[in-house]
Structure 1
Amino acid sequence: MPADKQPIPSVWMRPQRQQPQPALSRAQIVSEAIQLLDAEGIEALSMRRLGTRLGAAATSLYRHVANKDELIELVVDEVYGEVRVPPADDPAGWRQAVGDCARSMRSTILRHPWLTAVLGQVGLVYLGPNMMRTSDRLLAIVRSAGFGAGEADQAISAVVAYVIGMSTSEAAFLSLLSRSGYSEQEWVEKLWPAAEAAVQEHPQLREEYAAQRGKDQQQAREENFVYGLERILDGLESRLRAVGGPD
């Protein structure tokens, strides 16, 4: 390898060394890391902190992961294993199947709100086995519906980008709530007077805020997500008709 070429930094690109069975397994490390991330967020994760929680020196962790970035690749892929993808056994039901997967992905992100902060920023997360399996099953659904190679990937990318975009703001809001000690309804009621005052000179916003007054906020978030998802699926369905895919 030329001196100016460095190995690609990723746990998925590094051959695993054969070694005696250690007292601490990779699965234990990943599981404890996820618990730490769920409880305290990405800022709390360090190899030293994780080693302390596991009752082991940080050096023990390095037998399984070279650095924190590799650990994050592993925890992201582990969490992606929670995303449910229906089988591609009914071409006519592709829309429901993609929608179900999108809703499962959103639920997964909201259970692990740190996830969106690291997606696309660390390593080659898309090479993880769970993420590869999820992507392959989603592609099978849209390919069965009539999308060709290449465009099938574009269709899935559009759906996933929507889910991540919407869920990122939701996850940030829910993290803020958990730190505040307020319930969602309490938070909204406390802020409402200031919000109403701020929109007085903006008639369109004032009308929208008035329409939202008194709504259950969790239900409103669900409805907003589903509305956007359905419009994405409408567009894909329209595209399928244009290319002659199944109705």
Structure 2
Amino acid sequence: MTGKQFASVWLREPRKTASPGRSREEIVQAAIELLDAEGLDGLSMRKLGAKLSAGATSIYWYVAHKDELLELVYDQVWGEMTMPEPEEAGWRDTASALAHSMRAVILRHPWSADLLGRLPALGPNAIQVADRMRRMFRLAGFKGMDVDYAGSTLTAYVYGMTIPEVAWNSAMGEHQYDPAHMQEMVTRAVKDYPDMLERIEMTAYDDPQAVREVAFDFGLVSVLDGLERRLAT
């Protein structure tokens, strides 16, 4: 008994149109603009065709279905992530730069959080990031499968911190909660826990975005310290 055949837009040669029309790059850029404005639920071949002043059928020349289109935009997201060459910057600075860039890109394109792990990352941009990450951890001293484990540890940390932030930002934008009223409600909820109450009243929380960025960096440094400690032992 055989399973379903694995397919990806990246595993076949891109089609070349015989007549003047929209390029694949233009289609991908328009799709990203739609996704940024309306999210995954707002993307359809019909809407994309209207945005491009072209019929949906012309888009199907480049992609067989919506998932293939999402593969293309997903790889474009990977292409926005920046990191220096590990051999020039050293493994820790490279890892830190990648992690911060990865978080920034996901926050810039919040819909991409729903594609992580759902679509294969087989595009040229994603593979380039993966290759550079592997070189980074080999440079650090990891060997064999530990290179993969270190990479998955780093990305799991970034995803684990960033995806809830995406969800929170979405909820805040959708419901427009009043910050003062929210603080009042949370204060009431934790009134019997002095330490938590003290934290809520800290002036630093006047800038929650700054707190999230400091928390991300604190955790990232801790993860890198842990990986470095593992190498030492």
**TM-score of the superposed pair, with normalisation by structure 2:** 0.91
1:149: Cα distance to partner? 2.6
Residue 213 of structure 2 corresponds to residue 222 of structure 1: yes
CA-to-aligned-CA distance 1:24-44 (integer Å, 9 cap, x gap): 111111000100111111110
1:195 aligns with one of 186, 198, 216: 186
Question: 1:239 is paired with a residue of what secondary structure?
Answer: helix
Partner of 2:229: 238
CA deviations on 1:46-74 (whole Å, 9 max, x unpaired) are 11111111111111110001111111111
Amino acid corresponding to residue 101 of structure 1 in structure 2: L
Per-residue deviation, 1:87: 0.5
Equivalent of residue 130 in structure 2, options 127, 132, 135: 135
Distance in 2 (CA, whole Å) between partners of 1:77 and 1:132 is 9
Aligned residues: 233
Partner of 1:206: 197
Aligned residues of 2:24 and 2:62 also touching (Cα < 8 A): yes
- What is the identity, as a one-letter code, of the residue corresponding to 2:160? G
Partner in structure 2 of residue 245 of structure 1: none
- Is contact 2:183-2:200 (8 Å) kept? no
Tell me which residue corresponds to 1:178: 173
Match of 2:116 in 1: 119
* Letter paired with 1:84: T
Counterpart contact for 1:85–1:138, Cα < 8 Å: no
The alignment's TM-score, normalised by the length of structure 1, stands at 0.86
Tell me which residue corresponds to 2:102: 105
Structure 2: how far apart are the matches of 1:11 and 1:214? 45
User: Equivalent residue of 2:201, what SS?
Assistant: helix
Whole-angstrom CA distance in 2 between matches of 1:212 and 1:12: 50
CA separation of 1:5 and 1:152: change in aligned 2, threshold 3 A: closer
Cross-structure match for 1:147: 142
Q: Percent identity?
A: 42
Letter of the aligned partner of 2:230 in structure 1? R
Distance of 2:54 and 2:205 partners within structure 1: 51
Cα displacement (A) at 1:204? 4.7
Q: Which residue does 2:37 correspond to in 1? A: 39
String of CA shifts for 1:144-194, please: whole Å, max 9, x gaps: 111113211110111111111111111222233334457xxxx43231111
- What is the CA–CA distance in structure 2 between the aligned matches of 1:223 and 1:21, rounded to whole Å? 52
Matching residue's letter, 1:107: A
**Amino acid of the residue matched to residue 218 of structure 1?**
Q
How far apart, in 1, do the equivalents of 2:54 and 2:21 lie? 10
Q: d(CA) in 2 for partners of 1:228 and 1:165?
A: 11
Q: Identify the range of structure 1 (145-154 vs 130-139) with the bigger mean alpha-carbon deviation.
A: 145-154
Work out which of the residue numbers 156, 169, 173 in structure 2 matches 1:161: 156
Residue correspondence of structure 1 range 19-98 to structure 2 within 5 A: 19-90=17-88, 93-98=90-95
The separation in 2 between residues aligned to 1:82 and 1:138, in whole angstroms, is: 15
Distance 1:5 1:224 in 2: 44
2-side partners of 1:17 and 1:39: how far apart? Answer: 28
Shift of residue 142, structure 1, vs aligned partner: 1.2
Equivalent residues of 1:33, 1:75 under 8 A apart? yes
Unaligned 5+ residue runs, structure 1? Answer: 243-247
Q: What RMSD, in angstroms, separates the aligned Cα atoms of the two structures? A: 2.1
Distance in 1 (alpha carbons) for counterparts of 2:172 and 2:16: 45
